[in-house]
């Protein structure tokens, strides 16, 4: 009799705690995960073909494992279907927190519905996930600022503010399915387009989007180096005849810059006075070497360790039943809601600051870049 009573009390207590759990979960309320005390995390990264995603995934995985969490880290080969089925497996494996850098930010709605059905908290990592109410938080760098730094670098280096020009510019944009790419482009184009309009920047290929909104017309699918190289080959062979030279290339990231640099090399450009200014982003090793040997002018460095730390802190807060800290609640509207975001600050790195910013901070080893 006594035993039965104790069992009944235990069952009732459990029911109360489960009810509390389900009534507090969802819609960004983190207290559910805390109530379960669960730290089962699924991390979904887009590809291993870029250094940054390998570092991002492995660092976060280590931090979480060291903190006693169960972690499943997956890479999707830049394939949407693969990413969806990897996330489905994580949900089936009981993931309570999902950290997702989307391959295509518009395709994850249905799988996030499945995740929410088991009260998982969803953090969009670096790239926003669009068209779903089930995105709780977003951690990224200030993506508009990344492009703005590239545009301002070009403006400064060419002396555009003081009336220099005209210069031949070839602009590129990132992958049309990546929500970040339009922010990168508009940050840069808002600086550069006035000079295109005034004739101080000329785009011989004609590939100058009429407005920020037309950026995808020059987007390179999948951020692929070989596609950027082929595009640059076409522009050079069709529009740079009779000794015409390209003076500046707006490249939104390092993987595109690598392809563009290969194209320029095969067209006979060598580092030195008439080598174009080329921008980048990520501080990949090959690009930092290019900066040191004079075939790339700059990269926008995003210290991915800081992004990993920020997401780790978000997960700690969620585990503890607190709201993660955010610092931007207006910019990132995913079409259904404005996702509360934490934005980190990107920085320019040039030949003069490779040592002080990248090596001294331990982001890269001197031997990685031939120093």
Tell me the closest approach of the beta carbon of residue 172 to ligand BGC, in angstroms. Answer: 12
Cα(3)–Cα(127) distance, rounded to whole angstroms?
54
Chain positions 102 to 161 lying near ligand BGC, rule: CB under 6 A, are: 126-127
3-state secondary structure of 57: helix
Question: Is residue 180 at the binding interface for ligand BGC, with CB under 6 A as the rule?
Answer: yes
**Contact positions with ligand BGC (CB under 6 A) in 253-272:** 253
Among positions 52, 116, 235, 319, the unique one binding ligand BGC when judged by CB under 6 A: 52
344 - beta bridge partners? 141
Residue with Cβ nearer ligand BGC (253 or 295): 253
Distance in angstroms (rounded) separating the CA atoms of residues 258 and 262: 6
Tell me whether residue 281 or residue 295 sits nearer to ligand BGC (CB atom). Answer: 281
Exposure of 23 in the CB half-sphere (CA atoms within 13 A):
6
Query: Residue 247 or residue 299: which is nearer to ligand BGC going by CB?
Result: 299
CA distances from residue 54 to 49, 135, 186, 198, 291 in whole angstroms, order as listed: 8, 23, 27, 42, 22
Number of residues that bind ligand BGC (CB under 6 A): 10
282 binds ligand BGC (CB under 6 A): yes
Min. distance of Cβ 74 from ligand BGC in angstroms?
A: 16
Q: Of residues 178, 231, 261, 303, which one binds ligand BGC by CB under 6 A?
A: 178
- For 33, other C-beta atoms within 10 Å of its C-beta total 25
Q: Which CB contacts under 8 angstroms, 24+ apart, belong to 156-161? A: 157/248, 157/277, 157/297, 158/247, 158/248, 158/277, 160/195, 160/200, 160/201
Q: According to CB under 6 A, which one of 50, 69, 87, 250 is a site residue for ligand BGC?
A: 50
* Min separation Cβ 102 and ligand BGC, Å: 9
Closest CB 63 distance from ligand BGC, rounded Å: 20
Q: Are the beta carbons of 284 and 52 closer than 8 angstroms?
A: yes
- Of 358, 345, 225, 181, whose CA–CA distance to 285 is shortest? 358
CB of 57 to ligand BGC, least distance (A): 12
What is the closest distance, in whole angstroms, from the C-beta atom of residue 135 to ligand BGC in the complex? 16
Q: Which of 118, 109, 90, 92 is nearest to 32 (CA)?
A: 118
Residue closer to ligand BGC, measured from CB, 130 or 180:
180
Residues binding ligand BGC (CB under 6 A): 50, 52, 126-127, 178, 180, 223, 253, 281-282
């Amino acid at each position: 009799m006594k035993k039965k009573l104790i069992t009944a009390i235990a069952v009732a207590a459990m029911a109360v705690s489960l009810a509390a759990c389900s009534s507090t979960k969802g819609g960004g309320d983190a207290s559910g995960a805390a109530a379960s005390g669960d730290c089962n995390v699924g991390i979904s990264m887009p590809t291993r073909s870029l250094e940054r995603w390998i570092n991002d995934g492995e660092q976060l995985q280590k931090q979480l494992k060291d903190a006693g969490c169960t972690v499943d880290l997956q890479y999707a080969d830049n394939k949407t279907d693969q990413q969806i089925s990897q996330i489905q497996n994580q949900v089936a494996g009981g993931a309570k927190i999902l950290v997702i850098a989307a391959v295509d930010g518009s395709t994850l709605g249905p799988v996030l519905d499945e995740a929410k059905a088991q009260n998982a908290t969803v953090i969009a990592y670096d790239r926003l996930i669009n068209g779903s109410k089930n995105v709780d938080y977003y951690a990224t760098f200030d993506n508009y600022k990344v492009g703005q730094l590239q545009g301002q670098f070009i403006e400064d280096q060419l002396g555009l503010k003081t009336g220099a020009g005209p210069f031949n510019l070839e602009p590129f944009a990132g992958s049309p399915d990546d929500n970040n790419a339009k922010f990168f482009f508009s940050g840069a184009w808002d600086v550069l387009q006035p000079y295109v309009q005034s004739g101080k920047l000329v785009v011989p290929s004609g590939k100058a989007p009429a407005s920020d909104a037309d950026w995808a017309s020059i987007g390179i699918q999948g951020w692929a180096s070989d596609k950027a190289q082929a595009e640059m080959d076409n522009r050079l062979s069709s529009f740079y005849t009779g000794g015409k030279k390209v003076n500046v290339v707006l490249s939104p990231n390092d993987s595109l810059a690598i392809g563009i640099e290969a194209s320029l090399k095969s067209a006979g450009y060598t580092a030195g006075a008439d080598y174009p200014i080329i921008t980048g982003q990520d501080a990949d090793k090959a690009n930092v070497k290019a900066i040191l040997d004079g075939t790339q002018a700059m990269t926008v460095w995003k210290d991915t360790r800081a992004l990993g730390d920020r997401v780790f802190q978000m997960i700690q807060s969620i585990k503890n039943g607190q709201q993660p800290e955010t610092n931007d609640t207006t910019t990132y509207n995913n079409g259904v809601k404005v996702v509360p975001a934490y934005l980190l600050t990107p920085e320019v790195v040039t030949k003069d600051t490779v040592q002080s910013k990248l090596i001294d901070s331990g982001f890269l080893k001197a031997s990685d870049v031939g120093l």
